[in-house]
Amino acid sequence: MNRTIYEKNMAAFHARYDYVANQIEEKEYELTEGIKAELAEGDLIRVERDGESTVLGAHYDETERAEHWIRDIKDLPDYSTVLIVGLGNAFYLQELLRATSEQLNILIYEPCVEVFLKVLEEIDITEVFENRPVALLVKSVNDEELIPVMSKWLTNETLSYFRTRILPGYDKLFFEEIKEFLGIIKRTLQRMKVDQNTIAFFGNFYAKNVIGNAKYVLKSHTINQLSGLIPHDRPAIIIAAGPSLKNNIHDLKEAEGRAFLIAVDTALKPLLAEGIIPDMFMTVDGNKPVELFDREEIREIPMVLSADVNNEVVRRHTGKKIFYYNGEEFIQKLYLDHNIPCSGVPSGGSVSNSAFSLAEQLGFETIILVGQDLAYTGNRSHIEGSFSEEEIVRKRVNATAQVEDIHGNMVPTQPNMLMFLRWFEDRMKAHPELKVIDATEGGAKKKGAVNMTLRDAIREECPADHVDYKSLIDSLPYVFDEEMDRENRAYLFGRKKVMQDAVKKANQGLRLYRQLERLFQKEKLDAGKVKKISKKLEKLTRFFEQDPTMTVVMRSMASISFAISRGMYDYEEDLHDEGVMIARQGIVMMTCIKISLHNVIPILDDLLEELRAEENREPGEEILEPAKTKQEDGQQQTGGES
């Protein structure tokens, strides 16, 4: 070991990735059996694995090869993201840094902890991590941070510019590790694209749902309150509405009280038809058909939801509403300002994925899946009694993929169902301590799950004694006390002025972008005026992007802004042309914000009218707000003109 280099590298790691450095020093990682890494000639790493030896990156002309390796990366727009597999040849990474913009996001994945440790000991890599947006993931050290990093760096504007490069030699030695990791990357990208398309599609419903549901958040609960309340010494059963549910739905009667029954929304009506009442149900869609909830009994079953689900469904529901966080900053601020946790629920895109994550968070060590076909068993997507038969027939055209079923046969499925399946499998692989039983008795085979009949699973896994889950959940107090409720209402009434000010700011932004357009159209550019206008626009942009109130406005215009933003990272060769293009994009964006505000403010007015009615006040009566609530304390509002 070169002690000087090691200490220099570790000092850089402590400054940049302190928690990773601590893990290395405390040896909190798993070594791979049969691998040996050592320093070869010229700062190269030689790796021996199962009798095979390879020098990572050795080539007769490394400079030429490195230039070819980064050729199309160096022309990527700012804020693009590049995934580099391998840290064993610093030369390639250093060439990448020299040839690319400082605004390029670099994600490095090292599939071998032995290589990583040897690099730390022998090769100075501090340049790689100095003053650049570089994230480092090392297998068995911190690779679980992949999805948070990608979620932060990849937006709908930059997703199409994502690139992957594998350092020479790695594909030979670590083929399986890289294949597995890139599979996770691919599925993560697919989920992100689905999420972004969902936001764009549901943008028109978003404000109506989030603002309309704020009234119900005031008198509600959070999933965090369930932790420690629900006994997890027995299984949780996740009940989906796949076609195989009809074969064993009657067996669920034996599980009532002996397991915690979490139903997805589409399974409610078939369950109630069999006289089975789940302990709670979960819903996630912003436009879920209200017909799925039109049975009277459903109204009283505890509902787990996020603030952006269909407001009409929430209005009809009279039972316990248990919220989780799903990116609604407008609502999340109510919790944050009172230091009340409202956690999110990881998901692969389906309500069943979310229900599975909820069971995990509640501490269940055994999870039984029922009705989770993830395939067109019997050429059907859902059980009878969930969707209409016309809707089920219509869904058949989506079955454009195939998957292996539990009997080893290939059956039709949808591409998005495959994505949900891979999410389950990834989750099981990441948590081997979790016992997952697939009691669907049909549908797709799930790697990592134990196949059993539902009857056997209940007999073997569910204790004989019963838990009164209804009484436990009924005992939940509201998450906000009276004082918090008063301040939350004052916060909501204060949003009207924020939105009114936002209209003024959008008008100001329009004027500034038009001035900017005229400046760039002139033959002689006035750099001083451009800089002055740019500073004002930067201030306005921060407000629109970061103010919690504005998140509901911005997401409501997602379908419009998504189309605009596709060109935001394009650029023109000529400075004047590029300036004009940027100014015109800004004009369109500010116009969209004004339109969105015009649509959202009446929705807010409806909410405030309902809150007034609750307080038995006349519509025109003034609502007195505290001089400074906890929500507003420290919050700075920028003026409409500057």
Task: Supply the DSSP string of 508-569, one letter for each residue.
Answer: HHHHHHHHHHHHHHSSS--HHHHHHHHHHHHHHHHHHHH-HHHHHHHHHTHHHHHHHHTTTT
Token pair of 613, please?
């009615």
Asked if 88 and 215 sit in the same domain, the reply is: no
Strands 410-413 and 401-404 come out as antiparallel
Domain count, the chain: 3
Asked if 10 and 155 sit in the same domain, the reply is: yes
Asked if 143 and 227 sit in the same domain, the reply is: no
| Distances from the Cα of 234 to the Cα of 255, 357, 435, angstroms | 10, 16, 11
| Between 197 and 388, the higher pLDDT residue | 388
Asked if 462 and 507 sit in the same domain, the reply is: no
The pLDDT, as a whole number, for residue 202 is 46
Neighbouring C-beta atoms of residue 71, cutoff 10 Å: 10
339-354 residue pLDDT tens: 999 998 888 889 999 9
559-573 residue pLDDT tens: 555 444 444 444 444
Encode burial over 5-16: b for 16+ CB neighbours within 10 A, e otherwise: bbeebeebbeeb
Domain of residue 208: give its range: 197-474
Element holding 393 (H helix, E strand):
helix 389-395
Q: Give whichever of 114-128, 198-212, 239-253, 604-618 has the largest mean pLDDT.
A: 239-253
Of the pLDDT bands very low, low, confident and very high (cuts 50, 70, 90), residue 635 is very low
Asked if 168 and 311 sit in the same domain, the reply is: no
29-59 residue pLDDT tens: 778 778 888 887 767 788 888 878 888 765 5
Residue 622 is assigned to a structural domain of this protein: no
Asked if 384 and 495 sit in the same domain, the reply is: no
Alpha-carbon distance of 25 to 32, in angstroms, equals: 18
Asked if 394 and 462 sit in the same domain, the reply is: yes
The pLDDT, as a whole number, for residue 261 is 98
pTM: 0.68
Domain closes at, from 106, 140, 173? 173
Residue 637 is assigned to a structural domain of this protein: no
pLDDT at 275 over 60: yes
Three-state DSSP class for residue 436: strand
Residue 179 is assigned to a structural domain of this protein: no
Closest of 441, 461, 578 to residue 521, by C-alpha: 578
Residue 153 is assigned to a structural domain of this protein: yes
Name the residue type at position 203. G
Asked if 314 and 270 sit in the same domain, the reply is: yes
- pLDDT, average across residues 152-181: 76
Residue 429 is assigned to a structural domain of this protein: yes
Asked if 50 and 161 sit in the same domain, the reply is: yes
Residue 190 is assigned to a structural domain of this protein: no
499-527 residue pLDDT tens: 999 999 999 999 999 999 999 888 888 88
Alpha-carbon distance of 363 to 228, in angstroms, equals: 8
Asked if 288 and 229 sit in the same domain, the reply is: yes
Weakest mean pLDDT among 74-78, 243-247, 305-309, 436-440: 74-78
Residue 137: φ, ψ to 5° = -120, 130
Asked if 153 and 224 sit in the same domain, the reply is: no
pLDDT at 631 over 50: no
Asked if 53 and 145 sit in the same domain, the reply is: yes
Alpha-carbon distance of 359 to 260, in angstroms, equals: 9
